[in-house]
């Protein structure tokens, strides 16, 4: 059984091992024990019952194989970007340039640096170990956190965004970074991205270009990748689009990857979720999972399972799922279809 749950203090060694296994690294989870320890502490504070509204909290979840205790994945939600540190993005705007005597009209795309201090919620820190990429576990890891968001809407903003990894070429370079960022930072893309992931935002304000960037002045091959995702990120894009996320006019400041946005109440997993009383258990033998199930508590647990609705509106769920969620007949369970 695999369970999605909040990270705990005793998960540090498992989180470090998971971070070290990530090929190419994950900027929000670098294999740095001190930094990851701070991330755990930050998440523990975020889950405090005292939190009543969205600030700069960051909720970190892990996917655990309960048979071995091994951590095989992570996902997270930032309650509000810009809550504690400024949040930067490029906003793509269109300017109209015209000269009537010559009958010339041009629509020019321009990138404007945007700084937010009270932005929307953001999902991130998503990674699933290769051996666990099967049987709907990726959906549990990515979509299960939405059930926590749906259970505690006051802890989050009414809007949720996701920034996806931008296009990287066959040489491992970001064309957008090479054409723009490198000239101002003097470092390669990954160094700047890691610095930002470690929480160092001051260098962005100090070094980023202060004036708008006219897109037609960039090489054509760079213009073509603005708002495009890395090849490996395409499945994540497809999954989020199915959940109701749509592209915005904003892109990442480093690699020009797309920013997606959705109203939290419109996220499919939340919109199609139901809560009902458990009547009984199904036993441990059932067909492949059809639903995401959760206890919807601050001591959050989510797993995959099958749900059978009783005539009186109650439900039957697998016994192993009930154990994983620490639920018993008479308790409430929240569930949502694994696919729309």
Which residues have a catalytic role annotated?
230
Q: Which two tokens stand for residue 320?
A: 């192993």
CA distance linking residue 233 with residue 241, whole number of Å: 12
CA distance linking residue 164 with residue 143, whole number of Å: 16
CA distance linking residue 152 with residue 168, whole number of Å: 36
Query: What is the helix, strand, coil percentage profile of the chain, to 5?
Result: 30, 30, 35
Range 114-136 burial, b when 16+ CB lie within 10 A, else e: eeeeebbbbbbbbbbbeebeeeb
Q: Which backbone phi and psi does 273 adopt, to 5 degrees?
A: -75, 150
Contact 267, 195 (CB under 8 A): no
For helices 234-242 and 137-151, the axis angle rounded to 10 degrees is: 40
CA distance linking residue 227 with residue 173, whole number of Å: 16
Q: Decide: helix, strand or coil at residue 245.
A: coil
Q: Both ends of the chain: CA-CA distance in Å? A: 23
Q: Which two tokens stand for residue 251?
A: 């892109």
Per DSSP, 228 falls in state P
* DSSP β-bridge partners for residue 226: none
Q: Which two tokens stand for residue 205?
A: 């304000």
């Amino acid at each position: 059984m695999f369970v999605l749950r909040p990270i705990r203090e005793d998960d540090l060694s498992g989180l470090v091992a998971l971070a070290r296994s990530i090929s190419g690294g994950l900027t929000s989870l670098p294999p740095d024990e001190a930094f990851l320890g701070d991330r755990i502490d930050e998440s523990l504070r975020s889950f405090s019952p005292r939190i009543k509204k969205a600030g700069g909290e960051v909720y970190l979840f892990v996917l655990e194989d309960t048979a071995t205790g091994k951590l095989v994945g992570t996902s997270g939600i930032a309650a509000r970007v810009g809550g504690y540190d400024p949040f930067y993005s490029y906003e793509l705007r269109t300017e109209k340039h015209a000269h009537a005597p010559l009958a010339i009209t041009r629509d020019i795309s321009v990138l404007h640096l945007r700084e937010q201090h009270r932005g929307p919620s953001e999902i991130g820190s998503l990674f699933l170990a290769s051996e666990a990429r099967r049987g709907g576990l990726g959906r549990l890891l990515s979509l299960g956190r939405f059930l926590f968001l749906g259970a505690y809407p006051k802890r989050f903003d009414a809007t949720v965004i996701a920034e996806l990894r931008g296009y990287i070429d066959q040489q491992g370079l970001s064309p957008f970074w090479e054409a723009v960022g490198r000239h101002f930072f003097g470092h390669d893309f990954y160094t700047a991205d890691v610095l930002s992931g470690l929480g160092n935002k001051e260098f962005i304000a100090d070094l980023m270009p202060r004036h708008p960037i006219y897109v037609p002045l960039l090489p054509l091959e760079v213009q073509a990748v603005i708002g495009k995702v890395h090849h490996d990120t395409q499945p994540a894009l497809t999954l989020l689009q199915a959940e109701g996320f749509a592209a915005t006019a904003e892109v990442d400041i480093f690699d020009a990857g797309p920013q997606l946005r959705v109203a939290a109440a419109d996220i499919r997993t939340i919109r199609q979720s139901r809560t009902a009383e458990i009547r009984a258990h199904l036993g441990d033998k059932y067909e492949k999972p059809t639903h995401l199930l959760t206890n919807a508590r601050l001591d959050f647990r989510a797993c995959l399972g099958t749900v059978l609705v009783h005539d009186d509106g109650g439900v039957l769920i697998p016994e192993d799922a009930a154990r994983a969620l620490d639920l018993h007949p008479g308790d409430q369970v929240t569930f949502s279809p694994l696919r729309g």
